[in-house]
Amino acid sequence: MKYNRILLLTVMLLSLAGLTGGCGFKDIDKRFFVVAIGIDPPAEGAKGYKVTLRLAVPSPKVEPGAAKSRVETIQATTIAEGVRLLKSHVDKELDFGHCKLLLFGEELVKKDFRAPMQWFARRRDIQSVAYVAIGKPDANSILNVEPSSERLPGNAIFLTFGHGGTESSYTLYTYLFDLLRRAGERGLDPILPIMRVENNGYVVTRLGLLDKSKLVTVLNPQETEMFNQIRYEFKKSTVAASFGGQNMVMSVDGISSKTKIVRTNEGYVLRLRLKIKGIFEEAPIGVYDQDWKKLEQTFNAQVEQEAERLLKKVQQAGVDPFGFGLKFRATHAGSEKTWKAWESIYPRLKFDVKANVIIEGSGIIR
């Protein structure tokens, strides 16, 4: 019996050695980590895509400005082919596991972004939590920037988006899985932030609204902030109003936005209730002694106006980035008819926006 056991163990161990020989592992110093991918339409007349990869060059120094990266660009009929071709331009194996930014060129998004998006979705090594954005004027020029404050290659990109570094109410971010969800969903349309270059750094202030296949319209920074407040209840933002030429700005402490689709005699109405609490950040001296109820009413009126203008703009563009359609489906019986009904309701949908701005304080001074 004992002999049998030893024999079995030996056989098992030997087969283990044979198996591990087949593992194709490559050391970290034989890999090039791709930190960002940009896809652009090709130069005039050619077919396919212009693929740009930003590769991190490992460096022993970690200090601002010491990050080095290498940018490779190639033109090919398909992205997969382009990446394979690029592999022959570099000496190390390309690794997409750390790629955090997927950039579509503006020209590409204006035509059709679906094929490159599918490539991202199908690749097993591209993260679902990679950020997706639109590069203006094109993806290539954005990837070529090396910001002077960057400590690690590509780090400035990750800090711009997400909650890690700066948190701006104008900078929305979209994960790849969110883009895929919105691109497929009935009743929710894709959004992508628009990235441009200024002074050797990135600026993200505008939001692009897309339908299922292309860019439809772009929100300006104020509208982007409003969108962020309505859809994501984003707190680190501001509300502004003017009182006879005097501008007053409040920093938001708490925000809640509730939407409901109701049926009235005049057809369907979308009720939006915005409740914003905050304290003054910029106001003339003496605001403490004014009647806050009156100020609140002025704020309410101006916020309502701004919100309604945004909702109308979005409706007229024929897209639904807020997910009103999904909300309608979620609150009505589950059938094909519900969706059909919504498709005819949305273009004629009316908006009823009520804002409730609450002033909590005037800051440190009166």
Contact residues for other proteins, defined by CB under 8 A: 1, 4-5, 8, 12, 15-16, 19-20, 22-26, 121, 124-125, 127-129, 162-164, 175, 177-178, 180-188, 232, 323, 326-327, 329-335, 338
48 or 323: whose CB is closer to other proteins?
A: 323
Both tokens assigned to 195 = 């990235």
Instruction: Please report how close the Cβ of residue 120 comes to other proteins at its closest, in angstroms.
Output: 13
Q: Which amino acid is at 193?
A: P
7 or 46: whose CB is closer to other proteins?
A: 7
129 or 262: whose CB is closer to other proteins?
A: 129
**CB-based contact 268:344 (threshold 8 Å):** no
**CB-based contact 345:210 (threshold 8 Å):** no
Instruction: Please report how close the Cβ of residue 184 comes to other proteins at its closest, in angstroms.
Output: 3
196 or 332: whose CB is closer to other proteins?
A: 332
What is the C-alpha to C-alpha distance for residues 258 and 175, in angstroms, rounded to an integer? 24
Instruction: Please report how close the Cβ of residue 23 comes to other proteins at its closest, in angstroms.
Output: 5
CA dihedral 204, 210, 215, 216 (to 10 degrees): -110
178 or 225: whose CB is closer to other proteins?
A: 178
Identify the sign of the CA torsion 58, 78, 48, 177.
negative
Instruction: Please report how close the Cβ of residue 301 comes to other proteins at its closest, in angstroms.
Output: 30
Q: Which amino acid is at 357?
A: V
Nearest-5° Cα angle at 237, 234 to 239: 115
Question: Concatenated DSSP letters for 297-337?
Answer: HHHHHHHHHHHHHHHHHHHHHT--TT-HHHHHHHHS-SSHH
Instruction: Please report how close the Cβ of residue 338 comes to other proteins at its closest, in angstroms.
Output: 8
Instruction: Please report how close the Cβ of residue 92 comes to other proteins at its closest, in angstroms.
Output: 15
Cα distance from N-terminal residue to C-terminal residue, the chain: 92
Instruction: Please report how close the Cβ of residue 307 comes to other proteins at its closest, in angstroms.
Output: 20
118 or 305: whose CB is closer to other proteins?
A: 118
292 or 339: whose CB is closer to other proteins?
A: 339
Which residues are 254's β-sheet partners? 277
**CB-based contact 127:158 (threshold 8 Å):** no
